[in-house]
Amino acid sequence: MTPISTENEQEQSLQKAKNKQKMYGYERVSSPDAGKAEQFDLESGDTLYPGLSYGENELRWGFIRKVYGILAAQLLLTTGVSAFVVLSPPINDLLRGNSGLLLFICLIPLILVWPLHIYHQKHPLNFIILGLFTLFLSLTIGLSCANTDGRIVLEALILTAAVVSSLTGYTFWASKNGKDFNCLGPFLFTSLIILVVTSLIQMFFPLGPATTAVYGAISALIFCGFIVYDTDNLIKRFTYDDYILASATLYLDILNLFISIMRVLRSGDN
């Protein structure tokens, strides 16, 4: 009975060691050409956050690459449309001189939010709606850039790119080290409501240059928080079928940050 008991104890110890390896992200892979096994350490590579299995980690990275690919296409479309509006005086004059057309262009993205949410998993309708959503927002961004000094637009673009890159890199690093930013949700939602109400008030009671600059700075800080929060959701909480919603969310965060920075620079220039 003693040898059998010893063998069972050895098997239990081996199983515990394997479970411990999986817990810390290690997994043994046997090579068909070699007799000895190799160790693969997930935490030494591109593990998104602790406790994520190797297969889930690979799927998550594929999802993230897909979202950022769509986001890059949206930003390229916005850059092209904005440049066309800025460099085309007839289009610029048409949009500025026709308040009804401008209001229609501004309302279309708000209307498209509902079908974008409903059909975000229905291919290819989801890409068509996202393309229209991006196109009409790009027209409004182009008109805003056309009414702003080119130096300020370039400075805002460089600052936005630097901030977005820094915050994205920080969020990935923080997630890998076990930090979570889901607690920012209630604070950011409340701040967004305050920003919307303040914008409505500003339509009827215009703010002075100094107040506009402060409003733009606060807006920029809030949308910096949204970039961190939504990137954290991209890493951990968005499902694999939510690539359209994830890209649209990050796209709006970047656009709003760009507009806020441009508002601050414009107020400072005035």
Same domain, 33 and 151: no
Same domain, 136 and 176: yes
Return the closest-CA partner of residue 134 out of 75, 198, 180, 53: 75
Same domain, 8 and 123: no
pLDDT bin (cut points 50, 70, 90) of residue 270 is low
Res. 18: pLDDT tops 60: no
Q: Which domain holds residue 156?
A: 54-269
Would residue 157 count as lying in a domain? yes
Same domain, 40 and 58: no
Question: 60 versus 32: which is more confidently predicted?
Answer: 60
Q: What are phi and psi of 38, to 5 degrees?
A: -110, 155
Q: What residue has token string 């506009």?
A: 212
Q: What residue has token string 């048409």?
A: 94
Burial of 229 (0-12, 13-18, 19+ CB in 10 A): buried
Would residue 77 count as lying in a domain? yes
CB 29 within 8 A of CB 38: yes
Q: What residue has token string 């409340």?
A: 190
Burial 181-204 (b: 16+ CB within 10 A, else e): beebeeebeebbeebeeeeeeeee
Same domain, 165 and 183: yes
209-268 pLDDT tens trace: 778 888 889 999 999 999 999 999 999 999 999 999 999 999 999 999 999 999 899 887
Would residue 124 count as lying in a domain? yes
Same domain, 19 and 150: no
Same domain, 147 and 186: yes
Would residue 176 count as lying in a domain? yes
Res. 54: pLDDT tops 80: yes
In sequence order, what are the beta bridge partners of 38? 29
Would residue 49 count as lying in a domain? no
Would residue 171 count as lying in a domain? yes
Cα separation, 171 vs 165, whole angstroms: 10
Question: 138 versus 37: which is more confidently predicted?
Answer: 138
Same domain, 82 and 159: yes
Please count the residues of the chain: 270
Q: Which of 79-83, 92-96, 147-151 has the highest mean pLDDT?
A: 79-83
Tell me the torsion sign for CA atoms 136, 138, 139, 140.
Answer: positive
Same domain, 147 and 216: yes
Same domain, 38 and 64: no
Which residues have CB under 8 Å from 154's CB, separation 6+? Answer: none
Would residue 214 count as lying in a domain? yes
The predicted model gives 169-180 an average pLDDT of 93
Same domain, 190 and 225: yes
Would residue 153 count as lying in a domain? yes
Please state the pTM of the whole predicted model: 0.80
Same domain, 39 and 109: no
102-131 pLDDT tens trace: 888 889 999 999 999 999 888 899 999 999
Verify cis geometry, omega within 30 degrees of 0, for the bond prior to 90.
Answer: no
pLDDT bin (cut points 50, 70, 90) of residue 39 is very low
The predicted model gives 53-67 an average pLDDT of 91
Q: How many domains does the chain have?
A: 2
Cα separation, 86 vs 245, whole angstroms: 29
Cα separation, 30 vs 134, whole angstroms: 48
pLDDT above 90 as % of the chain: 51
